[in-house]
């Protein structure tokens, strides 16, 4: 599908990649952009095409309200997410793990369910799910985050299969290190959110189902394909090797 003339809803649109998606969509000629976030007042409405929408992914009633309000949507971009820096064996309870699953897995799933009829009514449209390279491997120090993104990955494949008959294009994005608040503590070169947004939308227009929008995500994919057992059994060592190779690569951060 084409971005020009489309009607798009972006979750997590108040900052980072989500904000970049809104700005890039406007530049590419989207007819209307629903920019959604928990606090709609945080959204910068810099274009007449942008409408701020309050949306908390942990509240199904707000998701249903958004679907009822935004009946003209032709592209859903599930971008909102959260991290979780907890070891699986350490916390006295699993509240943090449940929260990250609610935001990163159940939230996007509920969004897909709510907007599938809308997309069907409008000719099929598309869904773009923004995941992470963490979906491909267990990131040391953030195993629950990886688990939530891996769950979202399998959910995205399932949604693609189930919505194929109604003509809905479903694509998955695996960003690596992006210059956002979530990754600010990692001392490596990072791609700008605007670059990620532009690459994702161009790949989506081409019909790509799986999108690796930056060097580190492609390197992670290749590492997993070529050294599957090593990545799965020695994730810490695998990450060290990936980061060392990435930092030394001439295209790092570009």
Domains identified in the chain, total number: 1
Give the bridge partners for 34, in sequence order.
9, 51
- Classify residue 110: in a domain, yes or no: yes
- Catalytic residue chosen out of the listed positions 19, 149, 190, 223: 149
- Classify residue 246: in a domain, yes or no: no
Count of C-beta atoms within a 10 Å radius of residue 204: 22
**Six-digit token string for 116:** 């599938």
pLDDT of the residue at 90: 87
Percent of the chain's residues with pLDDT above 70: 99
- Classify residue 247: in a domain, yes or no: no
pLDDT band at 161 (very low <50, low <70, confident <90, very high): very high
- What is the domain-level CATH number for residue 18? 3.40.50.720
- Classify residue 237: in a domain, yes or no: no
Is residue 174 a contact partner of residue 133, using CB atoms and an 8 Å limit? Answer: yes
- Classify residue 227: in a domain, yes or no: no
Give the mean model confidence (pLDDT) for residues 26-34. 97
- Catalytic residue chosen out of the listed positions 34, 105, 145, 174: 145
- Classify residue 151: in a domain, yes or no: yes
Structural domain including 194 reads 7-213
pLDDT digits (tens, 9 = 90+) for 165-186: 999 999 999 999 998 877 667 7
- Classify residue 248: in a domain, yes or no: no
User: Which of 62-76, 150-164, 237-251 has the lowest average pLDDT?
Assistant: 237-251
**Six-digit token string for 236:** 């810490």
- Classify residue 249: in a domain, yes or no: no
Instruction: For residue 130, give the nearest of 43, 208, 18 by alpha carbon.
Output: 18
pLDDT digits (tens, 9 = 90+) for 195-234: 999 999 999 999 999 999 999 999 999 999 999 999 999 9
| Residue 145 is a catalytic residue | yes
């Amino acid at each position: 599908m084409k971005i020009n003339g489309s009607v798009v809803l972006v979750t997590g649109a108040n900052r980072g990649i989500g904000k970049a998606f809104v700005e890039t969509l406007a530049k590419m000629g989207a007819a209307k952009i629903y920019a959604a976030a928990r606090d709609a007042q945080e959204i910068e409405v810099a274009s007449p095409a942008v409408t701020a929408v309050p949306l908390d992914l942990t509240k199904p009633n707000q998701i249903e309200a958004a679907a009822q309000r935004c009946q003209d949507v032709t592209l859903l971009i599930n971008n909102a997410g959260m991290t979780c820096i907890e070891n699986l064996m350490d916390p006295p309870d699993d509240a943090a793990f449940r929260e990250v699953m609610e935001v990163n897995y159940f939230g996007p799933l509920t969004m897909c369910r709510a907007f599938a009829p809308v997309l069907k009514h409008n000719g099929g449209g598309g869904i773009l799910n923004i995941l992470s390279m963490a979906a491909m491997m267990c990131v040391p120090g953030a195993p629950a985050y990886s688990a939530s993104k891996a769950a979202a990955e399998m959910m995205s494949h399932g949604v693609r299969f189930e919505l194929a008959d109604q003509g809905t294009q479903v694509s998955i994005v695996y960003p690596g290190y992006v210059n956002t608040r979530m990754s600010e503590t990692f001392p490596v070169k990072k791609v700008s959110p605007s670059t990620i947004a532009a690459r994702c939308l161009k790949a989506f227009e081409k019909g790509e189902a799986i999108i690796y929008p930056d060097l580190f995500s492609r390197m992670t994919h290749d590492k997993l394909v070529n050294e599957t057992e090593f990545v799965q059994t020695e994730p810490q060592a695998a990450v060290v090797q990936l980061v060392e190779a990435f930092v030394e690569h001439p295209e790092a951060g570009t």
